[in-house]
C-alpha cells in the first residue's frame, strides 16, 4: 500500500546507522513496514530497497523467507496456536479444532469481520504451559476451550488493550543516544580496537 | 556466590511474584548460577540487577587483561548451551588475529520443547548484556549483535529497555564504566525461521539475506563469518554464565556439576509430567529418573501413567526410553548412550501417546522448517511427512516403513541400515550421524524421531497399516502437506512425482 511515513523513515535511518552494512538492517526494517501497515506492502519493499541500497526483488527475496512477514492484509489479531509435540501431547489439536469452529476459518484464514487470522504454528517456546498460543506474539497459557472462547470474546469487546494490532512487536525500541554510541565502522574500515591493543600483555609476559 | 541468594520457596507461577509474561520457571532448591534473580517479579530491571550484584562481573573483568579472561573461560570448561555443547573457551581460541571481528548472540531459540533462552532474555536481560560485554572484551571486539527470535516480543521489549538503561548508565557503549573501552550491543529481530538457529544461517540472516546455511568449510564463522570477517556465535545461556564466572572464578564454577560438564544447565521438561517446568540443575548430578519422578522436580508422570518414551534434548534428538532413566544428565553420558542433551529440552510421552502421531508431528516440523537449499532435506523431509501422514490416516502401504528408513538413508547415509530395523532390535541408534548429504543438520534431525519410533514401536506402525482398507490403500492423503505451507519450499520446488 504505502511507503514508510516520514517518522518511520527517520526511525529506519536510525536503525540502519547501527549496522556496519545497511542491508543488515533489512529484517528490522521489514518489521517496521509491517508495523505501519499490518503487512509488508510492495511500495514499502521498494522504499526499503532504496534505503539500504538493494533492489526491490532482493527485499522481497528476504521477506518471503520468513514466516512472520505477510504480503497481504491479515486480521487485527493473529491467533497462532502451537501444535508441536509438547502441546500436541496435551490437547493442542483439539484446541485447534475448537478454534476453527469458534472462528469459522481454517488455519491461514481470516474471519469476515477482519478481526482474526488463525494459524497453526511451530513451537513458540512455552512448552511447559501447554497448550499455548500467541495473539500477535503475546502468550496465552494452558488454554481449554472455554479459555479460548473467553479470549476471543475479550478481544472482540476490546478488553485486551495491552495487545497491539498485528505488526507491532515490542512496545519499547532500542535507542542509542549519539554521545553514548561506541562507534560503527564498515567492515572495510574497522581495525583492532585501540583499547584492546593497549591491554595486550607485553611480549615477555607471553610464554 | 557473592550475590544474595534468592531462594524464595516457590517462585514462578505459584506465588504472588507471578510474572505473567514468563511463568514456567520452577525453583528446585539447587544452586543457581543463571537463574538467581528469577524469583523477583522485577528481575528484568536495572535496579534489581544492580541491587543483586549485577555488572560486578563486568567490573572484575575490566580490571584484567582480555587474554586473561579468555583463559579463565577456557579453564572453566564452559560447554556451549545451544545444542552442540562445544566448549566456549576453545571456540574463542579459533579466532585468527584478524580484525574487525564480531560477536553474535544466538537468541533464535526455536527447537521444539526448548525455552530456557526466552526466560533468560525476558527475566534477566542485564545478566545477558553483561555476559556479552565480558565476551566482547575478552575477544577484543567492539560490535555485538543480539539476535532474538522474532516471535519473542516480550524478550525483545525487555532487552530493548535493558539496553537503553545500560547504555544510559554507562555499562554499554562509549567509555564503559569510565574506561577507554567502547563496545556496542545491537538488538536484532528475527522474523520466524527455525533454521536461523544454525550459526551460518544466523549470519546470513544478520546480513539481511534469506536464512540459508553456508557450507563449512570454508565458511567456519571463526574464520569467515559476518561480512566474511571472524565471528563468534554463542548461545544466550552460555553468555549468561560469564558474569558469575568473572565474580567467582573458574575454580569455583568447577565445584558445581561434573568434571566433564561443570556448572549448571537449564532444562525445560514438558509433556506428560505432573509438574512441567524450566529447572536449573547441576550437570551430571541428576538422572532422568530424578528429574521425572523427584519431589523437587517433575513429581511423576501425569496421572501416574507408565512412561513410554522421552526426547532428551529437543526435537532433533533420538528418543530415550525406560532403560536410559538412570543416566546422569550431562552431555557426554547422554551422547554415549546414543542421543544428545542438545538444547536442554525434554519432552515426556506416557503410555497413552500415539507414537505415529508424535513422530509425524516432529517430522512435520522439519518439513515446514526446511530452508529448501539442499535437495535431500527439501524433498526428503516433506516426503517423510507425507508417508507418515498416510500411515496415520489409515492409508499406509506395507512397504511404507522401509520407505521411511530409505528416505532417511538418503539424508544420512550409512547411519541407519534397513536390516538393523528388525522387530526387537533395540541397540542404541548410532549418533551423532556419521555422514549427511545436506549442508546443515536439519535434514538429518528429521530422521531421529522416525528411527526412534520405528525401532521401538514398529508394531504400532504395522497395526495402522494392517488396518488400512486395501481399496483405499493407494489413495492420496487429503491433508495439505508442508510443501503447500512452507514458503521456502513453495518457492524452491517444482512438483516432483513422489512415490
pLDDT in tens, B12-43: 333 334 343 357 899 888 899 999 999 888 99
Percent of chain B with pLDDT over 90: 76
Q: Smallest Cα–Cα separation from B253: which of B88, B117, B388, B101? A: B88
> ipTM score of the complex?
0.95
pLDDT of B478 over the 60 cut: no
Per CB-CB distance under 8 Å, the chain B contacts of A174 are 160, 163-164, 186-187
Q: What is the pLDDT of residue A122?
A: 95
Cβ A67–B113 below 8 Å, yes or no? no
CA distance A176 to A36: 22
- Give the CA distances from residue A161 to residues A77, A78, A116, A138, in Å, rounded to whole numbers and listed in that order: 12, 15, 15, 12
End-to-end CA distance of chain B: 60
Which residue blocks in B76-191 are alpha helix, DSSP H? 88-93, 117-123, 125-139, 153-168
Per-residue pLDDT of B263-283, as tens digits, reads 999 999 999 999 999 999 999
Report DSSP state, residue B474: T
**Distance between CA atoms of residues B86 and A139, nearest Å:** 32
Buried b (16+ CB within 10 A) or exposed e, B475-489: eebeeebbbebbbbb
At residue B435 the predicted structure's pLDDT band, cuts being 50, 70 and 90, is confident
Which of B:131-160 have CB within 8 Å of A?
140-143, 149-154, 156-158, 160
Instruction: Please name the member of B187, B315, B358 whose beta carbon is closest to the beta carbon of A174.
Output: B187
| Confidence check: pLDDT of B352 > 70 | yes
* A137 to B268: CB separation less than 8 angstroms, yes or no: no
Give per-residue pLDDT as tens, B80-89. Answer: 998 888 899 9
CB pairs < 8 Å spanning A and B: 242
Q: Which of B191, B194, B357, B486 to mutate to test the interface with A (most CBs of A within 10 A)?
A: B191
CA A75 – CA A79 distance, rounded (Å): 9
A55 in contact with chain B, both atoms CB, cutoff 8 A: no
Q: Which residues of A touch B186 (CB under 8 A)?
A: 18-19, 174
- Average pLDDT of span A65-90: 96
What is the reported pLDDT for A1? 58
Q: B172-230: per-residue pLDDT in tens?
A: 999 999 999 999 999 999 999 999 999 999 999 999 999 999 998 899 999 999 999 99
Grid cell at residue B72: 579463565
Residue A2: pLDDT above 90?
A: no
Rounded to whole angstroms, how far apart are CA atoms B315 and B430?
17
pTM of the model: 0.90
Cα→Cα distances B101→A25, A37, B188, B207, Å: 18, 37, 17, 15
Return the C-alpha cell found at B346.
525434554
SS3 A120: strand
What's the pLDDT at B387? 97
Asked if A90 is an interface residue toward chain B (Cβ–Cβ < 8 A), one would say yes
Q: Across all residues in chain A, what is the average pLDDT?
A: 94
pLDDT, chain B, mean: 87
User: Measured between CB atoms, does A70 come within 8 Å of chain B?
Assistant: no
Residue B424 has pLDDT above 50, yes or no: no
Amino acid at each position: 500500500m504505502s511507503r514508510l511515513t516520514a517518522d518511520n523513515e527517520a526511525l529506519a535511518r536510525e536503525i540502519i546507522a547501527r549496522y556496519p552494512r545497511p542491508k543488515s538492517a533489512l529484517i528490522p526494517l521489514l518489521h517496521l513496514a509491517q508495523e505501519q501497515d499490518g503487512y509488508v506492502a510492495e511500495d514499502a519493499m521498494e522504499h526499503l530497497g532504496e534505503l539500504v541500497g538493494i533492489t526491490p526483488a532482493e527485499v522481497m527475496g528476504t521477506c518471503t523467507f520468513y514466516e512472520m512477514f505477510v504480503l497481504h492484509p491479515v486480521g487485527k489479531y493473529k491467533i497462532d496456536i502451537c501444535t508441536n509435540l509438547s502441546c500436541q501431547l496435551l490437547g493442542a489439536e483439539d484446541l485447534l479444532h475448537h478454534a476453527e469452529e469458534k472462528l469459522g476459518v481454517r488455519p491461514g484464514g481470516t474471519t469476515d469481520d477482519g478481526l482474526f487470522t488463525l494459524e497453526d504454528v511451530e513451537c513458540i517456546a512455552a512448552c511447559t504451559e501447554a497448550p499455548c498460543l500467541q495473539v500477535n506474539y503475546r502468550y496465552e497459557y494452558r488454554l481449554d476451550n472455554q479459555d479460548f472462547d473467553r479470549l476471543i470474546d475479550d478481544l472482540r469487546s476490546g478488553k485486551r488493550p495491552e495487545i497491539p494490532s498485528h505488526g507491532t512487536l515490542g512496545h519499547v525500541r532500542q535507542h542509542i543516544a549519539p554521545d553514548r554510541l561506541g562507534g560503527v565502522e564498515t567492515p572495510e574500515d574497522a581495525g583492532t580496537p585501540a583499547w584492546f591493543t593497549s591491554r595486550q600483555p607485553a611480549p615477555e609476559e607471553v610464554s | 556466590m557473592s550475590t544474595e541468594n534468592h531462594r524464595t520457596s516457590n517462585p514462578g507461577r505459584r506465588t504472588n511474584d507471578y510474572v505473567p509474561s514468563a511463568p514456567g520457571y520452577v525453583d528446585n532448591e539447587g544452586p543457581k548460577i543463571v537463574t538467581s534473580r528469577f524469583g523477583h517479579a522485577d528481575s528484568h530491571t536495572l535496579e534489581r540487577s544492580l541491587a543483586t550484584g549485577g555488572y560486578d562481573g563486568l567490573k572484575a573483568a575490566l580490571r584484567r587483561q582480555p587474554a586473561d579472561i579468555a583463559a579463565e573461560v577456557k579453564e572453566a570448561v564452559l560447554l556451549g548451551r545451544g545444542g552442540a555443547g562445544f566448549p566456549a573457551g576453545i571456540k574463542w581460541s579459533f579466532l585468527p588475529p584478524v580484525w574487525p571481528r564480531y560477536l553474535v548472540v544466538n537468541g533464535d531459540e526455536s527447537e521444539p520443547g526448548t525455552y530456557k533462552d526466552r526466560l533468560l532474555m525476558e527475566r534477566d536481560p542485564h545478566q545477558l548484556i553483561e555476559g556479552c560485554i565480558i565476551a566482547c572484551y575478552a575477544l577484543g571486539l567492539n560490535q555485538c549483535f543480539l539476535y532474538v527470535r522474532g516471535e519473542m516480543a516480550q524478550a525483545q521489549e525487555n532487552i530493548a529497555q535493558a539496553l537503553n538503561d545500560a547504555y544510559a548508565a554507562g555499562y554499554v557503549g562509549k567509555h564503559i564504566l569510565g574506561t577507554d573501552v567502547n563496545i556496542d550491543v545491537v538488538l536484532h529481530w528475527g522474523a520466524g525461521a527455525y533454521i536461523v538457529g544454525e550459526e551460518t544461517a544466523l549470519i546470513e540472516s544478520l546480513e539481511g539475506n534469506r536464512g540459508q546455511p553456508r557450507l563449512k568449510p570454508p565458511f567456519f564463522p571463526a574464520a569467515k563469518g559476518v561480512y566474511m570477517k571472524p565471528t563468534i556465535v554463542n548461545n544466550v545461556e552460555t553468555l549468561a554464565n560469564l558474569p558469575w564466572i568473572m565474580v567467582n572464578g573458574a575454580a569455583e564454577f568447577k565445584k558445581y556439576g561434573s568434571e566433564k560438564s561443570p556448572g549448571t544447565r537449564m532444562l525445560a521438561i514438558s509433556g506428560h509430567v505432573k509438574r512441567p517446568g524450566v529447572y536449573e540443575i547441576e550437570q551430571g548430578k541428576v538422572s532422568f529418573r530424578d528429574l521425572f519422578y523427584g519431589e523437587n522436580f517433575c513429581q511423576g508422570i501425569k496421572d501416574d501413567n507408565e512412561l513410554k518414551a522421552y526426547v532428551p534434548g529437543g526435537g532433533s534428538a533420538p528418543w530415550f526410553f525406560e532403560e536410559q532413566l538412570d543416566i546422569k544428565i550431562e552431555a557426554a553420558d547422554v551422547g554415549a548412550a546414543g542421543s544428545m542433551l542438545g538444547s536442554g529440552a525434554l519432552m515426556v510421552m506416557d503410555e497413552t501417546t500415539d507414537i505415529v502421531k508424535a513422530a509425524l508431528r516432529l517430522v512435520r516440523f522439519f518439513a515446514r522448517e526446511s530452508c529448501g537449499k539442499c535437495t535431500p532435506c527439501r524433498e526428503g523431509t516433506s516426503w517423510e511427512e507425507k508417508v507418515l501422514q498416510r500411515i496415520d490416516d489409515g492409508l499406509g502401504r506395507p512397504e511404507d516403513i522401509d520407505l521411511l528408513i530409505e528416505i532417511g538413508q538418503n539424508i544420512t547415509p550409512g547411519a541407519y541400515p534397513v536390516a538393523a530395523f528388525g522387530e526387537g532390535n533395540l541397540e542404541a541408534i548410532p549418533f551423532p550421524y556419521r555422514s549427511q548429504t545436506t549442508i546443515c543438520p536439519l535434514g538429518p534431525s528429521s530422521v531421529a524421531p522416525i528411527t526412534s519410533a520405528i525401532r521401538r514401536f514398529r508394531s504400532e506402525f504395522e497395526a495402522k497399516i494392517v488396518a488400512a482398507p486395501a481399496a483405499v490403500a493407494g489413495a492420496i492423503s487429503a491433508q495439505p502437506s508442508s510443501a503447500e505451507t512452507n514458503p521456502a519450499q513453495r518457492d524452491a520446488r517444482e512438483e516432483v512425482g513422489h512415490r
